[in-house]
Each structure stands twice: as structure tokens, then as C-alpha cells.
Structure 1
Amino acid sequence: MADSGEPRRWVSLRTDLITALLGVWFGIGLMIDAWAHTNQSELETFFTPWHAAFYSGFAAVSGWIIFQVWRNVRTGRQGLAAVPSGYLAGLIAVPAFAAFGLVDMIWHTVLGIETSIDILFSPSHLGLIVTMLLIITTPLRSAWNAPDVGARPSLGRLFPALAGLAFAATLVSLFLSYGDAMQYGAQRVVDAFSLQNEGPGADRLATAMVISNVVLLAPVLLLARRWRLPFGAVTVMYAIMILMPGAQTAFGNLSILLTFVVAGLASDLLILWLRPSGARRGAYWAFAGLSAFVTWSLYMGVASATGGGLPTVPELWTGAPIVAGLVGLALGVLFLPNAVDVERA
């Protein structure tokens, strides 16, 4: 079909909000499925209630995206002109996801159901996760250059983008579960940094903290480079990001998970104080380093308070938050090597 040539339209906030909420359904369906794979070792078939929750979410959000294109086609638009701004990648990902879903069904039928770390390396699952990322981040791409967003959007206006990006981060954390510090319980943290022989070692926890630090902070820095984030933005994102590790651990480490919500609030306060943006490179770098340092200081503090006391190796529990802060600073430098005009970021 030839392109009719009209400029592509922006959708309304209401449309983006519905896209985001349907993406939440999609994401929660995956969390339920992840919980089942982790806790239901007797799974032997592709056709489960968990997959039904997951794929029904896909049907809902993909149907909504296609409907937006169809509405424009009805007005006479054709080709790319019928696709709302920010929705093209999500639209392309819809049939790709369906194809990987078919491959996944065949894979499970022939080779069985994965119930351990192999689930994170299945080619069909990797295809599903990449296409899912493109679908659920549609509200972010829609808002990125939307004329009504501006450089200092309200929390309500930015919420669809925040939700989409935060759920995308949960997908990344799921497929990096072998290095997810958010899945640790308080006692495991204390034991690991006390160099106890049982359970995961200090090296594994330290690595997991670095990985989780990047997964948490990178989406925030991406948004802070583009907009002056409203108060509450990081809290909302971190509250969403704890859902996947929570589902995988059946929320058995609730004190650790809630620590990240508090860390999100602390990061929001840092934003109020420092006012980081693409145009304020020094403040942006300071926020990146301090946000990471505060987050992982809280992590060690809560783990110690609820896990039986401070770890017995002081170099580990004092140095780990500093390493996190330095990694955060490095991320800040990578995301914003030079100041940019926020209006054009």
C-alpha cells in the first residue's frame, strides 16, 4: 500500500495511557508465567493458565495498537501516514512476537518445558522478550517528541512512558535473573558479605549488585537526559521494577524489595535538589553517582537491620555502595558526555 504522504499524527494522552495499561497486563502476565516456571517444576505443557495470562495480554495490547492504525486508515491515510508517531516499532513487533510465540510452542512441544536457568537462554524466549520490549515501550516513544509533553512534564503526563519503560526494565531483570541482587533476602546478603561458605559467595553478590545497579539506573538516566523529571517519577519506576523479582521470589524478601521503593523516593529528592538535565551536565553526573550510592547504601543498611547484623567483612559492606556510586557516575558520563539542549534531546 502506497504512503498517502500526510504527516504522522500523535495520539492523545488517553490513548497512550490505555496502551500502557494494556502493556501492564502483558507484563504482569509474564510475571505470573515467570513465577510458574520458578515455582511449578511439574510444568509439562505449553498450554497453561500462566501462558494464557501472558498471551491474552499480548492479544489485548497488540489489538489496541492495530486499532490505532485502523482508525487512521478509515480517514483515508495509507502506509506510514496511518501509523501514529511512536507506534511503528510496536506495530512491527506484533507479528514478530506472534511468530516467536509459535516457535516457542513448537520448542516446548518437542524439547519440553524449561524450569531452570535454561529458560533465560532459550532462543524463542529471547525473541519473545525483544519484541515484547518494543511493544510495551510504545508509550515512551510516543511521548519522546510529542508536542504537548514539553521539557518539564507532569507526573500524570509522563506516567504512560514511565510505566512502559519500567516494565521494560523488569524484562531485562528477568533475563538477568542469575545476576539480580533484588532477589536476595536480607540474610543471604549478610551471609555473602560475611564470607560464609553456605549460599552464594561475596563475588556473586557483588556482581549482582553491579548488574542490578545498571538495570535500575539506566532507564532513569535516559529519562533525566530527555526531561526534567517530575517528583515521584523514580519512585513509580522502582515500584514497578521490584515486581518481577518479587514474583520470582514469591515476595519472600519483601524488606529488600521495599528498600528500592524508598531508594526511588530518595532519588526523587535528589532530583529536586540537584535538578539534573541534559543541559546541566554536572548535576546530571552528580545525580547518577549519588542515586546509585544512596540506593545500595540503603540496600546494605536494610539487609543488615533485618538479616541479623552487619556483615563481618567491613570492606565489603562499606565498599559495595561506593562501587555502585562509581558505576552510576560512569553511566552518567556515558549517557551525557556533553551538555545538550533539553528541548532537542
Structure 2
Amino acid sequence: MDSGEPRGWVSPRTDLVTALLGVWFGVGLMIDAWAHTNLTELETFFTPWHAVFYSGFAVVSGWILWQVWRNVRTGRQGLAAVPTGYLAGLVAIPAFAAFGFADMMWHTILGIETSLDILFSPSHLGLIVTMLLIITTPLRSAWNAPDVGARPALGRLLPALIGLAFATTLVSLFLSYGDAMQYRPARIVEAFSSVNDPGADRLALAMVVTNVVVLSPVLLLARRWVLPFGSVTVMYTIAVLMPGAQTEFQNVPVLVSFIVAGLVSDLLVRWLRPSGERRGAYWAFAGLSAFATWTLYIGISSVAGGGLPAVPELWTGAPIIAGLIGLALGALFLPNAVAAKDAGAGTIDAGRA
């Protein structure tokens, strides 16, 4: 039974706690991903890294449930007791637990995956989708929060940035077979030094996939808000943690290139001021941010890897293709300019979830 009151919002501090507990959850997954990638002798579900991962789930779930219970104690019932933005995360909690049990049974019966098969396991896919819903709770909470406004400060938007950035790491994890952030500088130079190297095709495709994965969340936010300086740097710094964990941080120059790209993108935001109301600036930001990111990727990799690749068409054309894909993403995310009051109108229901 629903008591009928309008659903309210939690405080910014509560959202920050939700985001930080989500960090525990996300880092636990990174440790688990490192173990599955680098410890081929895994033979059991009960491991220290699973303990970190599932304890992270327990604490963030307990915190979300506590927010609902606090409202129940004031007399609210049904959906009225669920804070705005917290419903999807609340529903995902029992679903995640069910997939966790399924994963334990899967490992017990079929063994532990340590290769590509880990990314296609049905129980893992269920875990990742429900985890994504849980850790993006601060984003949905902030989406239409009355105190955020069109030009939020970095501190106010930080919980949403953290949640969305960790969600990006989940996507990159399950697209690891197409993750350009996992390449080492020397391999990037080698792959783009011969058109006959099959690695050139794979690297080019990985750059396309990674470009879409890292840029899309930024464009989502830039459509909703005028991003405060530092937003993209925060997101890209978090985004490199998953491929870093998987490669045991043996590709630091490549990871650093993305952090620098985040800073450059923040400078582009300050210069262009992209928003849902400024379609031209939004499109320009999407294209230039992608172009800068992959120019830095190849440039820093070349410095660290011993020189520029031998095929100039590849290392000059790849950033241009990335920029064109970024421009296309910008056009898809914002086909027409929107009025400020309508910037989040298409997703109000999603924000309330």
C-alpha cells in the first residue's frame, strides 16, 4: 500500500555516502577482475577478492535500505518511502543477490573462468547489470534534484560523477576484448607500424569501442548540465582503474594519456560551454574531445614506446576517425537543441527511479 506522499530527495551528503560505498563495491570488482585475469589457478568461489566485492555490495545495499527504512519510520509506505533516484537500486539489490547465488552455483558446477569466457557468463552479466543500477543511484538522485541546477558545482555533482564513472568501468570490463586502454605503448607502436600486422585491425577496432565507451557518459552529463571544471578529469581518472587493474598497471603511460585527455576535455568544456541549449558547441565538444583523447593516446604511447608508428596513415587518421565518431555521438545524443527547462524532461521518470 502506498501512503501517497510525493517522493522526496536525500541530502547531498547521503548521495556522497552512497557513491563512496559504491567505490568499495567497484574496487572489489576491480580486484576480482585482476584475480580472474592474472591468477589462472583459481579453483573456488570463496576468495579474498570475492569477500571484498560482496562486502561492498552488502554495505551499499544496507545503506540504500536504511534510507527507505528511515522514511518508513516517519509513516511513509510503498513508493512514497523510496527516495527519488533510489528505486532502481533498491529493486536491483535482491536481483544482484540472486545472480550472486547463481554465480556461486555456476562456479561450483562448471568451474572458475579465467579467460574470455568470464565476460560471457550469464551469471556475470546479471551481476554486472544489477551492479550498474546500484552504483548509479547517485546519478539518478541528482538528475532532477531541485538543489542541483543547470550549473552545479563540482562538489555537488561529485556523487553522480563517481557513480557514472564506475558504471563506465563495468562496461569497459565486459568489453575487455575491445579495450584500447589495455594496450602497452610498445604494442601500439608495433601494431600501427605495419598494415599486414593483424594487431593493427584489432587496435583500430578497440579504439573505436573505447572511444564510444568513455565519451558517451560525458556527453550524457553535458546534455543535462553545464559541467563544472574537473568533471571529465574525475571520470577519466576513475575509468582507467579497471584496465589498470587487469593489466597490473603495466601500461601506465596509456592510462596517463586518458587522464590528460580528461583535463583537456575540461578545458574544452570551459572554452566551448557545451550544453543541451548550445547544440553547435555540444557537437564541437564531442568531436574535439574525442580527437584530443586519441591524439594524446598515440602521442604519449609513441614517446613511451620508442617512436612514432611506421605507417603515417594509421597514426594520423585514427584520431580523425575518433573525432568523427565523437561528432556522430554528439549528433545522436543531441539532435536538436533543447530549452534549459526541458534539458532533463525526457528522463524525469528515469530520474525518479
Q: Secondary structure at the match of 1:228?
A: coil
Under a length normalisation based on structure 1, what TM-score does the superposition of the two structures give?
A: 0.98
Aligned ranges for residues 224-235 of structure 1 at < 5 Å? 224-235=222-233
Cα deviation, residue 343, structure 1: 3.0
**Matches of 1:217 and 1:52 in 2, distance apart?**
32
**Matches of 1:296 and 1:130 in 2, distance apart?**
28
1:3-54, CA deviations, whole angstroms, 9 ceiling, x for partnerless residues?
Answer: 0000001000000000000000000000000000011100000000010000
Who is 1:174 aligned against? 173
Who is 1:100 aligned against? 99
Q: Secondary structure at the match of 1:201?
A: helix
**Matches of 1:41 and 1:82 in 2, distance apart?**
46
Aligned ranges for residues 1-345 of structure 1 at < 5 Å? 2-195=1-194, 201-345=199-343
Do the aligned partners of residues 102 and 337 (structure 1) sit closer, same or farther apart at CA in structure 2, a change above 3 Å counting?
same
- Structure with higher RCO (Cα < 8 A, 6+ apart): 2
Cα deviation, residue 88, structure 1: 0.2
**Matches of 1:196 and 1:336 in 2, distance apart?**
36
Cα deviation, residue 342, structure 1: 2.8
Cα deviation, residue 290, structure 1: 0.2
CA contact (8 A) 2:195 2:311 kept: no
**Matches of 1:172 and 1:278 in 2, distance apart?**
25
CA contact (8 A) 1:227 1:342 kept: no
CA contact (8 A) 2:84 2:141 kept: yes
**Matches of 1:188 and 1:137 in 2, distance apart?**
34
Amino acid at match of 1:113: I
**Matches of 2:339 and 2:243 in 1, distance apart?**
36
Amino acid at match of 1:337: P
**Matches of 1:93 and 1:210 in 2, distance apart?**
31
Do the aligned partners of residues 318 and 274 (structure 1) sit closer, same or farther apart at CA in structure 2, a change above 3 Å counting?
same
Under a length normalisation based on structure 2, what TM-score does the superposition of the two structures give?
A: 0.96
Cα deviation, residue 242, structure 1: 0.2
Who is 2:350 aligned against? none
Amino acid at match of 1:209: M
Q: Secondary structure at the match of 2:288?
A: helix
**Matches of 2:207 and 2:104 in 1, distance apart?**
34
Cα deviation, residue 344, structure 1: 2.3
Cα deviation, residue 197, structure 1: 6.9
Cα deviation, residue 341, structure 1: 1.7
**Structure 1: where are the runs of 5+ without partners?**
none
Amino acid at match of 1:177: S
1:271-327, CA deviations, whole angstroms, 9 ceiling, x for partnerless residues?
Answer: 000000000000000000000000000001011111011101110000000000000
Q: Secondary structure at the match of 1:151?
A: coil
Amino acid at match of 1:182: M
Q: Secondary structure at the match of 1:171?
A: helix
Aligned length: 343
Amino acid at match of 1:169: T
Query: Percent identity among equivalent residues?
Result: 80
CA contact (8 A) 2:219 2:333 kept: yes
